[in-house]
A and B are shown apart, each in its own frame.
Chain A
Amino acid sequence: MIRVLVAKPGLDGHDRGAKVIARALRDAGMEVVYTGLHQTPEQVVDAALSEDVDVLALSILSGAHPTLVPRIMELVKEHHMDDVLVLLGGIIPEDDVDAMLHLGVAKVFGPGTDTNDIIAFIRDRVEVV
């Protein structure tokens, strides 16, 4: 069973996208922990750690990804959670994508992504026990 944390770090209040993703992943047979809006990086990583998720899916629409994502990835490494697949979605400008991948994000999914592509990507990358 694949476990996913869908998290909304930062201050934007738009979680429609996150909810659509959560629903799609559930319908694909995954267990999705959703923590709600306005999470700090510390809260996000604490939840991922406690819930022992395989995938950490971040949704950021505020433009704050250049500060939020480095902090989250730092905490992920600090807790030795190297086996967690980190995905990023929302509004991430093309120019920033490489920087995000460089930080350890496995893939960035922009607006209009087919949820099936996300599901396929997760299934491909997560070893199911």
Chain B
Amino acid sequence: MKDWDEIAQGILKGQKRAIARGLTWIEQGRNDGKQLAQKLFAHAGHAQVIGITGSPGVGKSTLVNALTLTLRSQGFKVGILAVDPSSPFTGGAILGDRIRMQDSVMDAGVYMRSFASRGHLGGLSRATFGALTILDAAGFDKILIETVGAGQSEVEIMQLAHTTMVVLAPGMGDDIQAIKAGILEIGQVFVVNKADRDGADHTVRSIRSMLALAPEHPAWMPPILKTVAEDGRGMEELTEALEHHWQHLTDKGLLDRFRWNQTEHLIEQAVADVGEHLIRRARAGPEWSHWVTEVGEGSRDAEHVAEELWRQELQEE
């Protein structure tokens, strides 16, 4: 499978192999991957994107597995993107989220892909946006993104997910930790998983009291749910809450704004790519070391270099 049009057709038909290859292209930052995402963007826009974030060990993967089983039983097609950290030393990664998702992923109505963060901060991988477009265009109704789970840098998920689910577990860090992490501001649904353990009610109460500290009365009051993902307890209520939020976005006309923001993001990304292309070419060019020297000595402005690069690019076209 080499031709991007063939892959695009396969993706629109929901073929696993085409989806998998398309995601690889996007992940590799290939130009045909970008073309693919641009072409498919017009076909995307009907899926609810659900972000799942929370500290390591709260049971995000197990929750995704249980949630997927329930969503499937309700007739939804489910796409899953799970991001794990890359080693900052070697760039390698061990992607283990599939271990806990074995029950759900074999289903033909489910596609799951593991991504390594590849040095991208924010708890996601750089490829996530393009990957979402692919899965959306492939016809998945619900797309679950499981973030790295680093806690404090997960805010990026807000820009990509319609509904962000923050997962906590009893006895994992105190109230101040949660405020510090800024994780309370990003959640539209809170889940206290492993709720069969001691302290679950305490965790629910402290989330509730912290949400009450919000300065303004919000249009959407995040529900706090208790689940035991291991045996599926609480999943019906969770899917109800997610559906409820989706309805809220639809009713308030917020989905259009979301789509607008995402489209802006797409353009921003394209502009950033142009910048990257310019700098890559400049570095490989003969004038680069002169420019660096001159800017260092103060005889040339960095802005002037940027303008020069842009001028050269235009001349070539």
Contact = CB atoms under 8 A, between A and B. Distances in A.
Interface string A44-59: 0011011110000000
Interface in B1-54: 16-17, 20-21, 23-24, 27-28, 30
A108 interface: no
Given A31-B116, A49-B20, A25 B92 contact: yes
Interface in B59-97: 86-87, 90-96
B214 interface: no
B21 A47 contact: no
Nearest to A28: B92
B20 A29 contact: no
B247 to A, nearest CB: 31
Contacts of B118: 1
Contacts, number: 80
Q: Tell me the interface secondary structure of chain B in the complex.
A: mixed
Given A32-B95, A36-B102, A50 B90 contact: no
B105 A47 contact: yes
Contact of B92 (A30, A36, A46, A52): A30
A33 B111 contact: no
Interface in A42-87: 42-43, 46-47, 49-52, 79-81
B114 to A, nearest CB: 5
A109 interface: no
Contacts of B91: 1, 29
A32 B106 contact: no
Given A47-B98, A52-B20, A52-B21, A31 B92 contact: yes
B112 interface: yes
B99 interface: yes
Given A49-B16, A80-B17, A129-B28, A32 B98 contact: no
A27 interface: yes
Nearest to B114: A33
Interface of A: 1, 3, 22-23, 25-36, 39, 42-43, 46-47, 49-52, 79-81, 129
Interface of B: 16-17, 20-21, 23-24, 27-28, 30, 86-87, 90-96, 98-99, 102, 105-106, 111-114, 116, 118
Given A36-B102, A43-B102, A49-B20, 13 more contacts: A1-B28, A22-B94, A26-B90, A26-B93, A32-B94, A33-B96, A33-B114, A34-B99, A39-B102, A51-B113, A52-B20, A80-B17, A81-B17
